[in-house]
Structure 1
Amino acid sequence: MNHNALQRQQILEILYTVRETSPKRGWLAESKLKEAMEGKDIEFALGVLIELGRVTKDGYQLTITGAGVLACEAAQEGC
């Protein structure tokens, strides 16, 4: 898996966990996501996930979509 694909998968896994543990809320601040990604530049990976409809962004808040959940689960059993 190349670097960008790996970053996209890591982002999906983080957002999946957030939504799974708090299904009604399920949103994560972009700054918290960057912290979880250890300060890596995630703009490209995040932009692609948003374009693909796997992540939704509202201001600086992010959540995984249903399509993102399915993609995450398909990539790794149970994500």
Structure 2
Amino acid sequence: MIKQMCWLSLRGTEGNKVLHLRVQLGQPWQPYTAFPQYAAPDYPIANGSKGYATFHKLRCAGWTLLPSGQVEQGSWEQQRKSA
């Protein structure tokens, strides 16, 4: 199991970024809410980042944060395949 996180816009939007998770290479990124076993309740802050509490929890548990730009362009997959 891989433990990867990334801040991405929800599909079909260009708005605020939401934490997305992936636990296996080749699988699509999914919003953190699709993983109730890992998700933490969001902080009650107006206009706060969706998934920040989960990000903090998983970061402390050793998950890796990938740069949004690389994930959006697919360059992270190319780097993994060539390594």
Larger radius of gyration: 2
Higher percent of residues as helix: 1
**Which TM-score band (shorter chain)?**
0.3 to 0.5
- TM-score normalised to structure 1 length: 0.32
Structure with more relative contact order (C-alpha pairs < 8 Å, separation 6 or more): 1
